[in-house]
Protein backbone atom coordinates (compact mmCIF):
# COMPACT_ATOMS: atom_id res chain seq x y z
CA UNK A 1 0.00 0.00 0.00
CA UNK A 2 1.78 3.08 -1.26
CA UNK A 3 0.36 6.56 -0.76
CA UNK A 4 1.63 10.10 -0.90
CA UNK A 5 1.85 11.72 2.55
CA UNK A 6 1.49 15.19 1.02
CA UNK A 7 -2.14 14.37 0.18
CA UNK A 8 -2.99 12.86 3.59
CA UNK A 9 -5.08 15.39 5.53
CA UNK A 10 -4.61 13.86 9.00
CA UNK A 11 -0.87 13.49 8.52
CA UNK A 12 -0.56 17.15 7.49
CA UNK A 13 -2.83 18.31 10.33
CA UNK A 14 -0.71 16.34 12.80
CA UNK A 15 2.45 17.97 11.46
CA UNK A 16 0.85 21.39 11.79
CA UNK A 17 -0.21 20.72 15.41
CA UNK A 18 3.28 19.47 16.27
CA UNK A 19 4.89 22.52 14.64
CA UNK A 20 2.65 25.02 16.44
CA UNK A 21 3.01 23.21 19.77
CA UNK A 22 6.77 22.98 19.37
CA UNK A 23 6.94 26.67 18.51
CA UNK A 24 4.94 27.55 21.65
CA UNK A 25 7.26 25.44 23.82
CA UNK A 26 10.36 26.95 22.17
CA UNK A 27 9.15 30.52 22.68
CA UNK A 28 8.12 29.81 26.29
CA UNK A 29 11.64 28.64 27.15
CA UNK A 30 12.67 32.29 27.49
CA UNK A 31 10.19 32.84 30.34
CA UNK A 32 10.32 31.55 33.93
CA UNK A 33 8.28 28.36 34.40
CA UNK A 34 7.30 28.54 38.04
CA UNK A 35 5.31 25.60 39.41
CA UNK A 36 1.74 24.36 39.25
CA UNK A 37 0.95 26.32 42.41
CA UNK A 38 2.75 29.53 41.38
CA UNK A 39 2.71 29.55 37.60
CA UNK A 40 5.21 31.69 35.81
CA UNK A 41 4.61 33.26 32.39
CA UNK A 42 6.18 30.28 30.63
CA UNK A 43 4.10 27.60 32.37
CA UNK A 44 0.84 27.83 30.43
CA UNK A 45 2.33 28.06 26.92
CA UNK A 46 4.67 25.16 27.71
CA UNK A 47 1.88 22.91 28.98
CA UNK A 48 -0.49 23.89 26.20
CA UNK A 49 2.22 23.48 23.55
CA UNK A 50 3.12 20.07 24.94
CA UNK A 51 -0.51 18.96 24.85
CA UNK A 52 -0.81 20.23 21.29
CA UNK A 53 2.28 18.23 20.31
CA UNK A 54 0.81 15.07 21.86
CA UNK A 55 -2.47 15.63 20.05
CA UNK A 56 -0.49 16.21 16.85
CA UNK A 57 1.31 12.90 17.26
CA UNK A 58 -2.05 11.17 17.72
CA UNK A 59 -3.52 12.77 14.58
CA UNK A 60 -0.33 12.09 12.60
CA UNK A 61 -0.37 8.38 13.53
CA UNK A 62 -4.08 8.19 12.72
CA UNK A 63 -3.29 9.68 9.31
CA UNK A 64 -0.53 7.15 8.70
CA UNK A 65 -2.89 4.31 9.54
CA UNK A 66 -5.87 5.52 7.50
CA UNK A 67 -4.16 6.89 4.38
CA UNK A 68 -7.15 9.16 3.65
CA UNK A 69 -6.46 11.76 0.96
CA UNK A 70 -7.63 15.33 0.44
CA UNK A 71 -10.95 15.74 -1.25
CA UNK A 72 -11.02 18.98 -3.18
CA UNK A 73 -8.80 22.02 -3.39
CA UNK A 74 -7.51 24.52 -0.87
CA UNK A 75 -9.93 27.34 -0.16
CA UNK A 76 -7.62 30.31 -0.48
CA UNK A 77 -10.39 32.91 -0.31
CA UNK A 78 -11.78 31.69 3.05
CA UNK A 79 -8.28 31.32 4.45
CA UNK A 80 -7.36 34.87 3.44
CA UNK A 81 -10.64 36.36 4.70
CA UNK A 82 -10.44 34.68 8.11
CA UNK A 83 -6.84 35.82 8.53
CA UNK A 84 -7.84 39.32 7.41
CA UNK A 85 -10.68 39.42 9.93
CA UNK A 86 -8.30 38.60 12.79
CA UNK A 87 -5.78 41.22 11.67
CA UNK A 88 -8.60 43.72 11.22
CA UNK A 89 -9.78 43.14 14.80
CA UNK A 90 -6.31 43.82 16.15
CA UNK A 91 -5.96 46.93 14.01
CA UNK A 92 -9.39 48.40 14.81
CA UNK A 93 -9.57 47.53 18.51
CA UNK A 94 -7.42 50.44 19.72
CA UNK A 95 -8.62 52.88 17.08
CA UNK A 96 -12.40 52.36 17.07
CA UNK A 97 -13.21 50.28 20.14
CA UNK A 98 -14.36 46.74 20.78
CA UNK A 99 -17.85 47.02 19.26
CA UNK A 100 -16.86 48.31 15.78
CA UNK A 101 -13.88 45.94 15.74
CA UNK A 102 -16.18 42.97 16.44
CA UNK A 103 -18.65 44.11 13.78
CA UNK A 104 -15.88 44.31 11.17
CA UNK A 105 -14.44 40.96 12.28
CA UNK A 106 -17.74 39.10 12.04
CA UNK A 107 -18.74 40.56 8.69
CA UNK A 108 -15.37 39.98 7.02
CA UNK A 109 -15.23 36.46 8.51
CA UNK A 110 -18.77 35.73 7.28
CA UNK A 111 -17.75 36.51 3.70
CA UNK A 112 -15.40 33.51 3.94
CA UNK A 113 -18.33 31.08 3.96
CA UNK A 114 -20.20 29.70 0.99
CA UNK A 115 -23.39 31.55 1.90
CA UNK A 116 -23.67 35.05 3.30
CA UNK A 117 -26.96 35.94 4.95
CA UNK A 118 -26.96 39.50 6.20
CA UNK A 119 -29.62 39.03 8.89
CA UNK A 120 -27.90 35.96 10.34
CA UNK A 121 -24.54 37.72 10.47
CA UNK A 122 -26.15 40.81 12.02
CA UNK A 123 -27.86 38.70 14.69
CA UNK A 124 -24.65 36.77 15.41
CA UNK A 125 -22.72 40.03 15.62
CA UNK A 126 -25.24 41.54 18.05
CA UNK A 127 -25.32 38.48 20.33
CA UNK A 128 -21.56 37.85 20.32
CA UNK A 129 -20.80 41.57 20.63
CA UNK A 130 -23.07 41.86 23.68
CA UNK A 131 -21.48 38.72 25.14
CA UNK A 132 -17.94 40.03 24.56
CA UNK A 133 -18.75 43.43 26.06
CA UNK A 134 -20.48 41.77 29.01
CA UNK A 135 -17.59 39.42 29.72
CA UNK A 136 -14.57 41.59 28.98
CA UNK A 137 -15.74 45.11 29.82
CA UNK A 138 -18.28 44.55 32.59
CA UNK A 139 -17.29 41.14 33.97
CA UNK A 140 -13.49 41.28 33.83
CA UNK A 141 -13.40 45.10 33.92
CA UNK A 142 -10.80 45.32 31.16
CA UNK A 143 -10.20 48.87 29.94
CA UNK A 144 -11.42 48.36 26.38
CA UNK A 145 -13.13 51.31 24.73
CA UNK A 146 -16.63 50.43 23.52
CA UNK A 147 -16.64 52.97 20.68
CA UNK A 148 -14.19 55.70 19.63
CA UNK A 149 -13.62 57.81 22.74
CA UNK A 150 -16.11 55.89 24.93
CA UNK A 151 -14.27 54.12 27.73
CA UNK A 152 -16.58 52.51 30.25
CA UNK A 153 -15.26 53.09 33.77
CA UNK A 154 -16.52 51.89 37.12
- Model confidence pLDDT, tens digit, residues 90-145: 999 888 888 999 999 999 999 888 888 899 999 999 999 999 989 888 888 888 88
Res. 153: pLDDT tops 60: no
pTM over 0.75: no
Q: List 110's β-bridge partners, or say none.
A: none
**Residue 147 structural domain:** 76-151
71 within some domain = no
Torsion angles phi and psi, residue 123, rounded to 5: -65, -45
36 shares its domain with 84: no
127 shares its domain with 81: yes
Q: For the residues 28-54, what does the mean pLDDT come to?
A: 90
144 shares its domain with 80: yes
Domain count, the chain: 2
Mean pLDDT, all residues of the chain: 86
Domain termination site, one of 66, 91, 117: 66
Amino acid sequence: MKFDLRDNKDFLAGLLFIAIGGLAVAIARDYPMGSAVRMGPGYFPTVLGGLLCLFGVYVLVRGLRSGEKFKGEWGWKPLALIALSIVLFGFLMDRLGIVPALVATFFVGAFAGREFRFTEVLLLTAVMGAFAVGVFVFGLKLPYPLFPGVLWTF
